[in-house]
Amino acid sequence: MGFKKHLSSLKSYEAGKPIELVIRDYGIRQKDIIKLASNENPLGTSKKVIKAIKKEAKNSYRYPDDSMFELKKSLAKKYKVDSKNIIIGQGSDQIIELLVQATCGSEDKILTSSLTFAMYEIYASHNQAKVLKTKDGVHNADQFIEIYQKSKPNLVFLCIPNNPLGDCLDRSEVYRILDSISSDTIVALDCAYGEFAAYKDKNKEIKPKEIIKKYKNCIYLGTFSKLYGLGGLRIGYGIADSNFIEMLSKLRAPFNITNLSLKAAIIALEDSTFLKNSLKNNFKEMKVYEDFAKSKNIDFIESYTNFITFMLPKSIDSSSLCEYLLKQGVIIRDLKSYGINAIRITIGLREQNKTTIKLIDKYLKR
């Protein structure tokens, strides 16, 4: 058939196991399932957002405002930038896709850390671009700078904080990397968990306004899928110099965001109580996992996100632990497919975390 040759060797993204699969395969009732696998907000979706979506539903027959005027205005106000500096995507994932498409072909290279968000490499492979990786999984500024200078990739992804490890470069380190990169190389700062990092440590806060003023080759990526609790509505954004946004927008399909998603995102930005409660729960409960890991001598990476990653000793196999939890209705993320014996747990609500920890403890004591 007439498909492009490289398609046959492409790998697709392995998403966290959906709840429906656990109901089907393990016969567990929906209400007994605890899903801590995809870094969703355990508080759910803000009530104010749900109300707004219901109200907006009657406009479903209309095409959305393709200029996305209202949401851009809200984001521009929040970040103190101009609407011309903003692009909206179907999740920040779509903006990552557009970025790779806009910059890379078979002659080109992208640079990432060796353990990071899988979509960078997947979109690179769609475009037949080569992926260069730093030696360490956690982000290391010196390693990024060294490979950049040696191999001159034309696209660099910094995931700050980094999924699936949870590590996070200081802002000063990010600037050190940006200062070493020439203006004809595009840099994406993927800040899907940026709100969590900024809450925990001010030195980790990336300010889009500062970034786009100093670095015309750099784009800040944010999402409504994590802290804002809108993963199912698929909405994210990029903030960059207006020329950068103009170029990227040429590849965006019209009406790529639904009316409901646009409305939901605008209201989600305003519900500061919901956001504050989400952040508070996250770091209070993170501590419970840290204490548990310490008591069991399990290594973990200090996390600036809404998940924690346990680096397991050889004696504990990540896949069999995950399988054990799955049979009891607890879904977490096995990182075996990343080539490490580790698990990633999204920080849930108190009771969910208690159950999860109890089950891991039980597994360890078998």
Q: How far apart are CB 324 and ligand PLP at their closest, in Å?
A: 25
Task: Tell me which stretch binds ligand PLP (CB under 6 A): 85-93, 123-131, 239-247, 312-320.
Answer: 85-93
Q: DSSP secondary-structure letter at 201?
A: -
Q: How far apart are CB 303 and ligand PLP at their closest, in Å?
A: 13
Residue 306 binds ligand PLP (CB under 6 A): no
Task: Tell me which stretch binds ligand PLP (CB under 6 A): 86-94, 101-109, 286-294, 337-345.
Answer: 86-94
Residue 225 binds ligand PLP (CB under 6 A): yes
Q: Check the CA dihedral 159-165-171-177 and report its sign.
A: negative
| Distance between CA atoms of residues 277 and 271, nearest Å | 10
- Give the containing element (helix H, strand E) for 123: helix 119-126
Q: DSSP secondary-structure letter at 63?
A: P
Q: How far apart are CB 19 and ligand PLP at their closest, in Å?
A: 17
Looking only at residues 152 through 171 of this chain, which bind ligand PLP when binding is defined by CB under 6 A?
159, 163
Contact 308, 4 (CB under 8 A): no
Q: Evaluate the omega torsion of the peptide bond into residue 153 and state whether it is cis, within 30 degrees of 0.
A: no
Residue 231 binds ligand PLP (CB under 6 A): yes
With tokens 């203006």, the residue in question is 183
Query: Of 34, 62, 64, which is closest to residue 234 (Cα–Cα)?
Result: 64
| Distance between CA atoms of residues 151 and 132, nearest Å | 9
Task: Tell me which stretch binds ligand PLP (CB under 6 A): 123-131, 132-140, 175-183, 223-231.
Answer: 223-231
- Judged by CB under 6 A, the residue of 236, 238, 329, 348 near ligand PLP is 236
Q: How far apart are CB 171 and ligand PLP at their closest, in Å?
A: 18
Could you tell me how many residues of this chain bind ligand PLP (CB under 6 A)? 12
| Distance between CA atoms of residues 346 and 229, nearest Å | 13
Q: Residue with CB nearest ligand PLP? A: 91
Between 153 and 236, whose beta carbon lies closer to ligand PLP?
A: 236
AA letter at 223: T
Parallel, antiparallel, or unpaired: how do β-strands 186-190 and 155-159 relate? Answer: parallel
Between 91 and 153, whose beta carbon lies closer to ligand PLP?
A: 91
Between 23 and 279, whose beta carbon lies closer to ligand PLP?
A: 279
Residue 190 binds ligand PLP (CB under 6 A): yes
AA letter at 17: K
Between 194 and 329, whose beta carbon lies closer to ligand PLP?
A: 194
- The site map against ligand PLP for 103-122 (x = CB under 6 A) is --------------x-----
CA distances from 220 to 129, 217, 236 (A): 22, 10, 11
Contact 125, 5 (CB under 8 A): no
Residue 93 binds ligand PLP (CB under 6 A): yes
| Distance between CA atoms of residues 156 and 165, nearest Å | 18
Q: How far apart are CB 8 and ligand PLP at their closest, in Å?
A: 26
Q: Which residues bind ligand PLP (CB under 6 A)?
A: 91-93, 117, 159, 163, 190, 192, 223, 225, 231, 236
